[in-house]
Amino acid sequence: MKKTKISKFLSLVLKHQPETIALALDPEGWVDVATLLKQLNAHGKPVTLDQLREVVESNDKKRFEFDDKGTRIRANQEHSVEIDPKLEHMAPPSVLWHGTASRFIPRIRKEGLTPQTRKHVHLSTDPAIAAKIAARHGNPVVIEIYARAMAEADEGYLFYRSANGVWLTAEVPVNYMEV
């Protein structure tokens, strides 16, 4: 299998449908590497350990990670299956960015940013990365988020940083963004 196909299939089974290959994720989203490779092979998707390592290490968005021993693997974010990745909340930088398609701007100006089908709103420390992500969905627009002000507000907005550096929060109200 090619790297892109492996990565896309890993996203499917580690984020959304582990049952596709009779896989069971633990409560934090981890699965034993040997079990994953065995199940991939058993379901007609043969992947070697070297291929798996290459996909994890070369993925520009760092979608997957191995544990410290290299014996377990998980997706870093965007799960639709119920897991608890044990993220600790932390103080965000002053400003973060969110990329979106221009067609969503009227709704965002009215409602703010909400996670939609995800568990969190995804934010970036780099406006260029936010623009690149937005471009996949149409005419890109980058929204500036006043993250530190949000975190310090009385409402108690929490921020988390995933293992691949993406900042996550439950929502972004209109008054904390510049569209």
pLDDT value of position 33: 97
Those residues whose C-beta lies under 8 Å from the C-beta of residue 106, and which sit 6 or more positions away, are: none
pLDDT tens column, 80-122: 777 777 788 899 999 999 999 999 999 999 999 999 877 889 9
CA distance 35 to 63: 19
Q: What is the pLDDT of residue 97?
A: 98
pLDDT at site 63: 87
For domain 96-178, give the CATH number. Answer: 3.20.170.30
* Confidence label for 56 from pLDDT (cuts 50, 70 and 90): very high
pLDDT score at 83: 74
pLDDT(59) > 90: no
What is the rounded CA–CA span in Å between residue 156 and residue 170? Answer: 11
Q: How confident is the model at residue 138 (pLDDT cuts 50, 70, 90)?
A: very high
Each residue's pLDDT tens digit, 70-81: 999 999 877 777
CB atoms within 10 A of CB 168: 22
Provide CB contacts within 8 A for 45, sequence distance 6+. Answer: 1, 9, 21
Summarised one tens digit per residue, pLDDT across range 139-169 is: 999 999 999 999 999 898 999 998 788 899 9
Q: Do 3-75 and 96-178 come out as alike in CATH topology?
A: no
* CB-based contact 37:122 (threshold 8 Å): no
Are the C-beta atoms of 123 and 150 separated by less than 8 Å?
A: no
Q: From 31, 33, 65, 66, select the one nearest 166 (Cα to Cα).
A: 65
Pick the CATH number of 3-75 from 2.40.40.20, 3.40.50.1220, 1.10.10.970, 1.10.10.60: 1.10.10.970
Domain boundaries, the chain: 3-75, 96-178
